[in-house]
Amino acid sequence: MDPIVIIGSGLAGYNVARELRKLDKATPLVILTADGGQFYSKPMLSNALASNKLPEAIPTHSAEQMAAQLDATIRAHTRVTAIDAGSHQIRIGDEIIHYSKLVLAPGAEQIRLPLSGDAAAGVLSVNSLDDYARFRAAIEGRKSVAIIGAGLIGCEFANDLAATGYKVDVIDIADQPLARLLPPAGGAMLKANLAALGVTWHFGTGAQAVDNDNGRLRVTLGNRETIATDVVLSAIGLKPKLELARAAGLKINRGIVVDRHLATSAKDVFAIGDCAEVAGLVLPFVMPIMHAARALAATLAGKPTAVSYPAMPVLVKTPACPTIVAPPANGASGEWQTEQTADSVKSLFVDASGKLLGFALNGAATAERAKLAQQLPPVLN
């Protein structure tokens, strides 16, 4: 029997494998991964400094331990180079592997800013354990980090670095942190609390150049200001990894297009995680992966199962300003209503009939998360 093959050993790939093994202990399973194949929780990367974790202490299981736990063949440091969906084959260079069913879980990649300057190539980003090890080596013994991007990942790193004594500058073309997720009052609280921790914000302007300057770096902004720093971290966002799917002729849009069964346009090929666009939604977070992994495992085990998503609030790991967001669906009509106290901001997105469609909570208001989440409509019913 040809194996089920999974490409990728991130939370998506490994969670499908774990869920599958609960239902099917017999079908041979092969996991191919470009990285070391360790199991780790990627969200930990942006609070590992304050929780005193070295990169090597972040994985909970080695590839060998995962292979034993999943009764799977795991090939680490193995990059799949092509898919031939017509003949149920994948290629690793010249090697060919046949599959019965194929799961694509190659994740996402950093969007790169077109920066000029003689140190632009040295700008770091963090979307894997290996990236994080490089970042930690770069900041070791240094004092300052400039972060490009005040989104979720940029704010989390800003909090983690500032809380552990680094001088942190954050640059964003928007005029507040988490501009796409927080209405202004919540953004103002996050901005103030991180500023109190020592973060210097540079809003309304982008980074244009990074140059070497006497052993340090100089970041030049669109408004001609310059920032002297030791390390530059880019956190401007991710885009689904599409090259394998595109070359194989699979339907792609913003992500690899899949239906509610996580099925791509090619027979017996599925996609899940940061790479996938599920029923029109690209949701690069852990909770959607957990729901999709359960549904896909059932489908792979012979019981076709459509994925549903309940409301899935996202906890932003900024302890200086606890923040939880459940954004309304794209295009939802309604308005933000905000209540504010000295230590909390509660913003509710409600429609004309008063129905709750989304929320953003900061500070003490985060205690209301469970109660409010129950009132939200499901993301995918």
Ligand X SMILES: Cc1cc2nc3c(=O)[nH]c(=O)nc-3n(C[C@H](O)[C@H](O)[C@H](O)COP(=O)(O)OP(=O)(O)OC[C@H]3O[C@@H](n4cnc5c(N)ncnc54)[C@H](O)[C@@H]3O)c2cc1C
Residues making contact with ligand X (CB under 6 A): 7-13, 32-35, 42-43, 45-46, 79-80, 105-107, 126-127, 153, 241, 244, 273-274, 284-287, 289, 314, 317
| Neighbour tally for 57: CB within 10 Å | 12
Nearer to ligand X, 11 or 232 (CB): 11
What is the nearest approach in angstroms of ligand X to the Cβ of residue 236? 12
What is the nearest approach in angstroms of ligand X to the Cβ of residue 355? 25
The continuous run of DSSP H or E covering 291 comes out as: helix 286-300
What is the nearest approach in angstroms of ligand X to the Cβ of residue 158? 12
DSSP class of residue 323 equals E
Residue among 233, 36, 216 at smallest CA distance from 135: 233
Joined together, the tokens standing for residue 27 give: 């079908």
Nearer to ligand X, 203 or 285 (CB): 285
Nearer to ligand X, 128 or 208 (CB): 128
What is the nearest approach in angstroms of ligand X to the Cβ of residue 131? 8
Please measure the distance between the N-terminal and C-terminal CA atoms of the chain and give it in whole angstroms. Answer: 35
What is the nearest approach in angstroms of ligand X to the Cβ of residue 104? 9
Q: Are 202 and 170 in contact (CB under 8 A)?
A: yes
What is the nearest approach in angstroms of ligand X to the Cβ of residue 289? 6
What is the nearest approach in angstroms of ligand X to the Cβ of residue 154? 10
Dihedral (CA of 291, 293, 299, 302) sign: negative
- Residues contacting 259, CB < 8 A, separation 6+: 279
Nearer to ligand X, 10 or 117 (CB): 10
Nearer to ligand X, 221 or 283 (CB): 283
Give dist(CA 63, CA 68) in Å, integer. Answer: 9
User: b vs e for 198-223, b when ≥16 Cβ sit within 10 Å of the residue's Cβ?
Assistant: ebbbbbeebbbbbbeeeeebbbbbee
The amino acid sitting at 85 is A
Q: Are 59 and 33 in contact (CB under 8 A)?
A: no
Give dist(CA 195, CA 219) in Å, integer. Answer: 20
Nearer to ligand X, 244 or 320 (CB): 244
Nearer to ligand X, 221 or 297 (CB): 297
